[in-house]
Amino acid sequence: MAAAEQSNCLACIPENFSVSFLPIADQISTKSMQRGLNYYQQGYIHEVTLQFPTVSAKCWPSLRKNNSPHRLSLDLDVDRIKYAYCSCKAGLSGKCSHIIGLIKTLQGFKLHNFKEIPSDLSSTSMPQQWNKPRGDKILPVPISQVVVARPTEQRKRKPIQCHTNMNYKLPRVDLGKSSNSTGHTTPA
């Protein structure tokens, strides 16, 4: 076997590279596929290196942020992935969501026509990610339609609803006159 050469050139990755290259692709759950896609989209996969036939990377943990990143590794062949490894608990089987995230990352590089693996950008080299408005996700509604309740289906209390009669007319308040205890108004 020839010595692995250090090259971040993506020419050795097939154009149709996808999750179907895994030998156990039919055993991957929809949840793992969605989580892997999220790892790719949110930038959890980093330090991707390619020493053909091995691709290695790291993935930030999604729950315990203080833990060290998971180590990922893929051994490639022409039309399949021979071996997949992740340092997480489910990674020995080669079908964890971190592996899916690495495959989606490589797919993304190919789809965006990168010739080689881009270097990781530092946070100061990218646009700021905080304090960005989320858009109009919560639409305004009249107060009579607001329901205050816990988000779960198994509630112990009934939801609080507005009981305002929107057709009720408030009495007119006249600020220019004062009233006495008999209810008669006198000019100010």
What pLDDT digit, counting tens, does each position of 59-73 carry?
Answer: 988 777 778 899 999
pLDDT score of 3: 45
pLDDT score of 187: 57
pLDDT score of 1: 39
Query: Where in the chain are the domains?
Result: 5-111
The residue behind tokens 């080669």 is 94
E strands, the chain, in order? 5-6, 45-52, 54-59, 70-76, 81-86, 147-148, 160-161, 177-179, 185-187
- Cα 42 to Cα 37, 46, 58, 105, distances in angstroms: 9, 11, 14, 11
Average pLDDT, the chain: 78
Q: 58-62, 91-95, 120-124: lowest mean pLDDT where?
A: 120-124
Segment 137-165 shows an average pLDDT of: 74
Higher pLDDT pick, 141 / 80: 80
Segment 158-178 shows an average pLDDT of: 76
**pLDDT exceeding 70 applies to what percent of the chain?**
74
Segment 128-149 shows an average pLDDT of: 71
Q: Are 54 and 14 in contact (CB under 8 A)?
A: no
